[in-house]
Every structure is written in structure tokens, then in C-alpha cells.
Amino acid sequence: MKSAQCDKRLAILQAALELIAEQGFHGAPMAMVADRAGVGAGTIYRYFENKDLLIAELYSALEQKLKVVLMEGYLPEKPIRERFIHLGRALLRYCIENPLHFRYIEQFHNSPYGVAFRRDKILGKQGECDVFRELFDDGVAQQVMKDLPLVILFALAFGPLLTVVRDHILNFITLDEPLIARTVEACWDGIRR
């Protein structure tokens, strides 16, 4: 059957997600991933060439899913401020509801894997991922955002959001819907002219 194969593949991805998100890359040896997925150690290599590719593939899947969620209900014709607030809130909500996804993506970014990835994203082909780039370019052009380099605006917007999510997941604070709204609006104050 096809579904049986898919089951195992998904089980492996899920096990890797949980272990790596919770314990980091070191805390997730292949044997442990196999164990949690309920498969033999060698089975993983039937679905993924090696550990690096498993990690990269999982990252791509999560990134893809996040992108989809962010675009849900995004209206490009609304004013820039509203578009930003929408994206910020959606991002916070998604990360809070999927802490494992968030933690995994963070682990990935803070690893040797992630650096090359981000370098390509920011400097290389700017063809995609550009809901954000477009929004910020618009914002600067229309003079509703500060006239700062794109990278700085990104930092002002997402630096606080990701920090806040980290703190929420580590139980340093509890984010509810009103607090989310106020936080995103504070971020807007940082970038708006």
C-alpha cells in the first residue's frame, strides 16, 4: 500500500520535529528518532538520504506551511498599516499554536544549516517570499515607514515578535489575544514614520 509508506515517512518527520524542537539537534540522534517514530533505525534511510537532508526537508515543509497560514485573509489592497498588523498577528498566533514548529525553525536558523539559507534569502534571488519585502518597499515608498534599510526594518518588526514568542514558549509570559494586538502595534510604532 501507498498509505503505509506515507505513514512511516510522516512518523519519522514528526518524531524528528518533536525531538529537535525540544532538545536541539544534539538531543535527537537517529536512533532516538527511529525509536519515537516506531520504526527501525535503518528504515529512516529508505526515506531520507541522510540526517542533513531529513533536517532540510522538514524545514522546507514547515516554512511552506507558515507561508500559507500568513497569507490566509491577507488583503493586498488594504492600507499598509493594516497589512502589517495582519501579518504580525497571524505570525504570533501561528507560533503560539505551534510551538514545536517555531522552536524547530529557530533551531534551524541558529545552526550551520540555516546561515547559508538566510544568506540566499536576503541577498540572493529576491524572486519569492516577498510578501514582506513588497509590503516594506511599499511602506518606504509611500513614506508611511521610516526611511531605513530593509534589513533594519525587518529587524525592528520581527526581532520583537520572535523574542516575544520565545518568552511565551519558555513561560516567561503568557500571550493572550489583547496582548498580542498591543505588541504588534508597538512594533508598528517602531517602524512607522
Binding site for DNA (CB under 7 A): 1, 4-5, 8, 26, 28-31, 38-43, 45-46, 50-52
Measure CA 97 to chain center: 12
CB of 43 to its own copies, least distance (A): 26
Phi then psi dihedrals of residue 54, to 5 deg: -60, -45
End-to-end C-alpha distance for the chain, whole angstroms: 59
Which of its own copies, DNA, none binds 8 (CB below 5-8 Å, type-dependent)?
DNA
Give the three cell numbers for residue 30: 537517529
Q: Judged by CB, which is closer to its own copies: 9, or 114?
A: 114
In degrees and rounded to multiples of 5, residue 83 shows phi and psi of -60, -40
Per partner kind, with CB cut-offs from 5 to 8 A, the member of DNA, its own copies, none near residue 43 is DNA
Q: What minimum distance in Å lies between the beta carbon of 98 and DNA? A: 24
Residue 91 found at the interface with its own copies (CB under 8 A): no
Contact status: 96 vs its own copies (CB under 8 A): no
Residue 129 within binding range of its own copies, rule CB under 8 A: no
Residue with cell 498588523: 85
Task: List the alpha helices (DSSP H) in 79-130.
Answer: 80-97, 99-109, 112-123
Q: Which three cell numbers stand for residue 58?
A: 522538514
167 belongs to the binding site for its own copies (CB under 8 A) = yes
133 binds its own copies (CB under 8 A): no
Residue 192, phi then psi, degrees to nearest 5? -70, 150
Residue with cell 534599510: 149
Helix (H, G, I), strand (E, B) or coil at 145: strand
Residues that bind its own copies (CB under 8 A): 23-24, 26-27, 106-107, 110-112, 115, 118-119, 122-123, 146, 148-149, 151-152, 154-156, 158-164, 167, 170, 172-173, 179, 182-183, 186-187, 189-192
